[in-house]
Structure 1
Amino acid sequence: MGLLMFYEYLSRIEALIEKHDDIGLHNYLDAMHAADIAEVLENLESDEQRQVFGLLTDEKATEVLEELNSDDFSELIKALTYEKKVTLLDLMSQDDIVDKLNELPESRQKEIIAFLDYEDAADVKDLLLYEEDTAGGIMTKDYVSIQKDYSIYYAIETLRAIAPDAETIYYIYVVDDAERLVGVISLRELIIASPNRSVESVMNENVITVNINDDQEEVARIVSKYDLLAVPVVDNGNVMHGIITIDDVLDVIEEEATEDIYKFAGTSDEEVYEHDDTLFDRVKNSVRSRLPWLVITIFGGLLSAKVLASYQTTISANASLAMFMPLLAGMGGNVGTQSSTITVRNIATHMIEGADILRTLIHEISVGMLVGMFCAIIVGTAALFMHAEYHIAIIVGISMCANMVTAATIGTIVPLIFKRIGVDPAVASAPFITTTIDLTGLTIYFTLATMMIANL
């Protein structure tokens, strides 16, 4: 929903609330998408939330609950009657319930689980045992499975009976007597198959699966690679435990991309705040996220100052050298950030494996050399027009090229090293990269200047 559309929805709903026009408000809400209603609810006062939510049909109310953040979900559930709680929670998907409960205190989790029926409560408790960012933590047990020795006719009759409780029926999973996954059949294949044939004779035995302990990022990669609408979750014995649907995978992709962006910027998702967070909490989280990387930058700056101090004689004798320091540092930082961004992205999408590592390094160094030579000609010529001596122009040009090659190398190697030692490559963030490049760039510049000037 666009910002203008959101404010249009919000102002319209607030106007209907103020007029006490419940009929008009009900009709207006009925035409809205559940995700839009949820976004509006999160910006209303508690009493207004309850009033609006109370006008929704059970189906629409369930969809809205699945879209809400955990705090608003908890507060709205708390305000409902016993019968309404049971009805809505029964309609919700298990994985959505688990997503909400994971962010609530344990005592509140138990209160909400108490309104589920015995089977759903057991499944939800089981799902809560898994880590949030694993396949087990994002899967649902609401799936359809049939025995491999079923006839197609009996399989369809079984599907009619159990499909209403399933999250998706695009794929029907085939299991043996021990619940081990042995095949999969699409709904289309099931419908067009001869009723007298066995499920085993038409099923696809080459099933793409994920392990229950796999990281959610690996799950997203597999679903994306094979263009799946859902993927089965199995344990080490190939026993099926649940499925992960495409809507959950999209949430994972957004979450992982956001996390990588924050890390790359030298901060974290702690800076994402809720609308009811206090200013103190927002400031505290931001300071805690940014300060460690800024401290690293400070020490890098102090080392840079130490490098400059060691070349003080060279700088004093040729003051014009100082004019080009910001340019060299800035260009090196830009190239390093570009290389590290591309490398981190390729690592995240598993495009750098084995021999690709060397190929990637050679590619980035080659790019750094070519753009460095081009930029060296420009800055060398500019230096002459700025009335710098010809040897200063040569020093600046050569340093520019060398600095950009070095920056491209560092920007590529650092994420690869982090990956090798088991650290998230996204942690190779801009402050770390640029600080390292500043040190190497200044060292190259003044070492070259000292050597050339000494030989004049």
Structure 2
Amino acid sequence: MNQELIGILDQTIVMLQQHREDELRTLLDELHPADLAELLEELEDEQRAAVVQLMSGPTAAEAIAELELEEQAAIVTALPPEKAKAILDEMSADDAADLFAELEPEDAGSLLQLMTQEDATDVRELMTFPEDTAGGIMTTEFVAIGAQRTAADAIDELRRAAPSAETAYYVYVVDEQGRLVGVLSLRELIVAQPDAEIRSIMRTNVVSVHVNDDQEEVARTVQKYNLLAVPVVDDQDVLRGIVTVDDVIDVLEEEATEDIFRAGGVSDAEQQLDLEGPIWPAIRARLPWLLGLLFLSLVSGKVIEGFTPLMDRVTALAIFITTMAGGAGNAATQALTVVVRGLATGEMERDQVGRVVWREARIGIVIGAICGLVLGVTAMVWNHSPWIGLIVGLSIAINLMLAKAAGSLVPVIIQRLGLDPAVASGPFIATITDTTSMLVYFSIAALILGAVL
């Protein structure tokens, strides 16, 4: 929260305490919905309810829609029925559906009864779709018109429907059965002759998504074609709704956050930071992951244990254990990041896996050769032994090459198993490379020192 908004927060609290409702209402009307949402987050429950009561229905609906779903639910259920109805009447159908999905069934049922029959039907329909699909994030508020109508008719339809539509940048063209057959941008409609038939000026190569498409696929489609909204159709190509760019931004943020948390081995339940909440849910979520990695890391310990007699004879080998493991882990994480992003954005196709792994392996060869030369010379000078330098240099070169290949291959294997490649996390890769790097390091050491000692 910036300083200006902190000042407004202080003013709001003072005005509430002094019952200066008219002044506070004027202050609230001047704020952007996103700022209002941030303001509501900082207020106590009673203060929050009082502030929402002072907002107009449209303003309150926009501000509440900016909040997290849990906070939306807490606010709406605490309001008097008439105020809740005023807010729900102004909320877009997709926002209302998301809100109702967060509520207890009895609360959702009570609030649905406050809505008009048409709006309640739209919300119920949206709630039938899985939340991470096109149907789950679409809105049913759009502008559609028949192909036989004229441009003037379309503009009249825009004037009528635009106030309640999610976006009015596109007019979708449908046939008698409601199937999507074309699309017009607002610009194309404005420059067309008023008596021109829609079928003569519409674009028929419409980019659309299916109601059951994953939300990530929808986001990629909007991003690829630079759309402000994408139509959603069913198996019969009937236009069911649209997904707008603001919903796509939310999806991208949600998916990026999810991947970041999974890459760190953190569960979905912890994606909302709760500084006041209990710590046990976080412990239960993280402990199995870390325990599993700890037991996996014991394999590295057993590898080192097997070469203990060798380290007793040449103690200098112990100095470079952390360097071997750390260097390999860092190299694998770099490759992992590149590949997981490629899989997430769709830039990496199934038939490109071999090329990607080979590319990363070649990168590992070059980087490994350079790092091996630098570290090998350093080890040789440091220990006054060319053999230690050769062991260290050759080991780090091989380990970096293998780590790059592993970092690019593991997420692909996990995706082939039907899992999210983001679970091929940094800790998991690091544990694998710890074991392989130790095995390579001490095996090379045993071969070289066994030949010269």
Q: TM-score with structure 2 length normalisation? A: 0.96
Q: Which amino acid in the other structure matches residue 443 of structure 1?
A: L
Match of 1:290 in 2: 286
Q: Secondary structure, in 3 states, of the residue corresponding to 1:178? A: coil
Q: Does the CA-based 8 Å contact 2:143-2:157 persist in structure 1?
A: no
Correspondence for 2:434 among 435, 438, 441: 438
Q: Secondary structure, in 3 states, of the residue corresponding to 1:183? A: strand
Counterparts of 2:9 and 2:386, CA distance in 1 = 66
Match of 1:396 in 2: 392
Superposition map of 1:310-389 within 5 A: 310-389=306-385
Q: Once the two structures are superposed, what CA deviation does each residue of 1:203-230 show, in whole Å capped at 9, x if it has no partner?
A: 1000000000000010000000000000
The 3 A distance-change label for structure 1 pair 382 and 4 is farther
Counterparts of 2:443 and 2:212, CA distance in 1 = 52
Give 5+ residue unaligned stretches, structure 1. none
Superposition map of 1:201-240 within 5 A: 201-240=200-239
Corresponding residue pairs, total: 452
1:358 deviation in Å? 2.3
Q: Which amino acid in the other structure matches residue 410 of structure 1?
A: A
Counterparts of 2:333 and 2:166, CA distance in 1 = 43
Counterparts of 2:377 and 2:9, CA distance in 1 = 58
1:11 deviation in Å? 2.9
Counterparts of 1:426 and 1:319, CA distance in 2 = 39
Match of 1:268 in 2: 267
Counterparts of 1:387 and 1:150, CA distance in 2 = 86
Q: Which amino acid in the other structure matches residue 241 of structure 1?
A: R
Superposition map of 1:88-237 within 5 A: 88-237=87-236
Counterparts of 1:9 and 1:301, CA distance in 2 = 53
Counterparts of 2:219 and 2:420, CA distance in 1 = 17
Task: Report percent identity of matched pairs.
Answer: 41
Q: Does the CA-based 8 Å contact 1:174-1:184 persist in structure 2?
A: yes
Q: Secondary structure, in 3 states, of the residue corresponding to 1:54? A: helix
Q: Once the two structures are superposed, what CA deviation does each residue of 1:359-408 show, in whole Å capped at 9, x if it has no partner?
A: 22122111111111111122112212322522011101100101110110
Q: Which amino acid in the other structure matches residue 37 of structure 1?
A: L
Q: Does the CA-based 8 Å contact 1:264-1:427 persist in structure 2?
A: yes
Match of 2:451 in 1: 455
Give yes or no for the alignment of 1:61 onto 2:57: no
The 3 A distance-change label for structure 1 pair 274 and 56 is farther
Counterparts of 1:3 and 1:119, CA distance in 2 = 41
Q: Secondary structure, in 3 states, of the residue corresponding to 2:173? A: strand
Counterparts of 1:203 and 1:260, CA distance in 2 = 40
Match of 2:277 in 1: 279
Q: Secondary structure, in 3 states, of the residue corresponding to 2:42? A: coil
1:300 deviation in Å? 1.9
Q: Which amino acid in the other structure matches residue 271 of structure 1?
A: E
Give yes or no for the alignment of 1:301 onto 2:300: no
Counterparts of 2:444 and 2:363, CA distance in 1 = 22
Counterparts of 1:452 and 1:274, CA distance in 2 = 52
Greater mean deviation of Cα atoms: 444-453 or 159-168: 159-168
Give yes or no for the alignment of 1:51 onto 2:47: no
Q: Once the two structures are superposed, what CA deviation does each residue of 1:71-120 show, in whole Å capped at 9, x if it has no partner?
A: 33233333434333322211110111111122222222111111110011
Q: Once the two structures are superposed, what CA deviation does each residue of 1:117-164 show, in whole Å capped at 9, x if it has no partner?
A: 001101101110111100000011111111111122222223322222
Match of 1:428 in 2: 424
Q: Does the CA-based 8 Å contact 1:70-1:104 persist in structure 2?
A: no
Counterparts of 2:325 and 2:14, CA distance in 1 = 56
Q: Does the CA-based 8 Å contact 2:210-2:232 persist in structure 1?
A: yes
The 3 A distance-change label for structure 1 pair 343 and 122 is same
Q: Secondary structure, in 3 states, of the residue corresponding to 2:102? A: coil
1:25 deviation in Å? 2.2
Q: Secondary structure, in 3 states, of the residue corresponding to 1:279? A: coil
1:313 deviation in Å? 1.9
Counterparts of 1:195 and 1:6, CA distance in 2 = 48
Q: Does the CA-based 8 Å contact 2:261-2:271 persist in structure 1?
A: no
Q: Once the two structures are superposed, what CA deviation does each residue of 1:161-182 show, in whole Å capped at 9, x if it has no partner?
A: 2222211111111111111100
Give yes or no for the alignment of 1:85 onto 2:87: no
Counterparts of 1:195 and 1:411, CA distance in 2 = 59
Q: Which amino acid in the other structure matches residue 279 of structure 1?
A: G
Structure 1 runs (4+) deviating above 6 angstroms are: none
Q: Secondary structure, in 3 states, of the residue corresponding to 1:179? A: coil
Q: Secondary structure, in 3 states, of the residue corresponding to 1:102? A: helix
Q: Which amino acid in the other structure matches residue 50 of structure 1?
A: A
CA RMSD, 1 decimal: 1.7
Q: Does the CA-based 8 Å contact 1:293-1:431 persist in structure 2?
A: no
1:416 deviation in Å? 1.2
Counterparts of 1:154 and 1:61, CA distance in 2 = 33
Give 5+ residue unaligned stretches, structure 2. none
Q: Does the CA-based 8 Å contact 1:293-1:432 persist in structure 2?
A: no
Counterparts of 2:20 and 2:341, CA distance in 1 = 51
Q: Does the CA-based 8 Å contact 1:135-1:211 persist in structure 2?
A: yes
The 3 A distance-change label for structure 1 pair 3 and 308 is farther
Counterparts of 2:322 and 2:308, CA distance in 1 = 17
Q: Does the CA-based 8 Å contact 2:368-2:401 persist in structure 1?
A: yes
Correspondence for 1:409 among 401, 405, 417: 405
Counterparts of 1:333 and 1:319, CA distance in 2 = 24
Q: Does the CA-based 8 Å contact 2:316-2:383 persist in structure 1?
A: no
